[in-house]
């Protein structure tokens, strides 16, 4: 099922992308593509738009599900045919080994530190400051997070990032909007917990790595 909210968000995103490309004429687009369903259709339309503008594109595919997608019967064969075989970067040698033999794949170590220590101390006893940074959608479980924090008097939730196809938050939620790089790197400075209740399998998102390096406790689904 496709909701009216998803359709409106998709059309707004396509229009915003077209306007941004026409205004800035970027040398390169970095694009994180959805995994399935209506969002995948939307993202394919966005990729076509970017390529029609003759802008080179760095495509980010979800590493935790890509190997199984490539290996599945007819669908895997179609995917292997459609995806470019140029140069791929994988954060795991195990995932790199699952790519077709004729693809150029470079394995780059995931930047997670060898040892992560909790350097922060909660300075407001009795108050837990929960943070969310990234795409705000129901597929990421942000609605579950909002409901959970709303039920806890001692918890405060701050959201930042792109507001996707999801209803506006209640008044109890603080939303900072999209952050530039400097503000994003400072986002975790006063947070205690990052909760990622995603409804689909995650890999190891950069937001988790950044939160860990800031000494923030992370709670996440598989």
According to the model, what pLDDT value does residue 119 have?
53
The conformation of residue 168, written as its DSSP 8-state character, comes to P
Phi-psi domain of 6 (left: phi exceeds 0; alpha: psi -120 through 50; beta: other): alpha
| pLDDT tier at 195, thresholds 50, 70, 90 | very high
Tell me the CB-side half-sphere exposure of residue 114, using CA atoms within 13 A.
0
pLDDT tens for 132-151 read 998 888 889 999 999 888 88
pLDDT tens for 8-54 read 888 888 898 889 888 888 898 887 777 677 777 888 888 888 888 88
- What gap in Å lies between CA 63 and CA 92, rounded to an integer? 9
Q: Taking residues 165-174, report their average pLDDT.
A: 76
């Amino acid at each position: 099922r496709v909701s009216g909210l998803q359709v409106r968000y998709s059309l707004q995103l396509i229009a915003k992308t077209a306007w941004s490309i026409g205004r800035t004429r970027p040398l390169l687009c970095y694009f994180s593509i959805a995994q399935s369903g209506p969002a995948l259709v939307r993202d394919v339309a966005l990729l076509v738009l970017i390529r029609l503008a003759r802008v080179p594109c760095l495509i980010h595919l979800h590493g935790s599900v890509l190997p199984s997608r490539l290996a599945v019967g007819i669908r895997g064969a179609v995917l292997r045919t459609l995806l470019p075989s140029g140069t791929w970067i994988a954060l795991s040698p195990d995932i790199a080994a699952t790519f077709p033999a004729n693809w150029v794949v470079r394995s780059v170590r995931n930047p997670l530190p060898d040892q992560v220590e909790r350097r922060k101390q909660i300075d407001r006893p009795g108050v837990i400051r929960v943070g969310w940074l990234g795409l705000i959608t129901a597929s990421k479980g942000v609605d579950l997070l909002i409901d959970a924090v709303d039920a806890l008097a001692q918890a405060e939730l701050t959201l930042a990032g792109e507001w996707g196809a999801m209803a506006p938050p209640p008044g109890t939620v603080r939303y900072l909007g999209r952050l530039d790089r400097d503000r994003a790197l400072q986002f975790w400075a006063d947070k205690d917990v990052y909760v990622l209740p995603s409804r689909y399998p995650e890999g190891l998102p950069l937001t988790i790595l950044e939160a860990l390096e800031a000494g923030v406790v992370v709670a996440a689904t598989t």
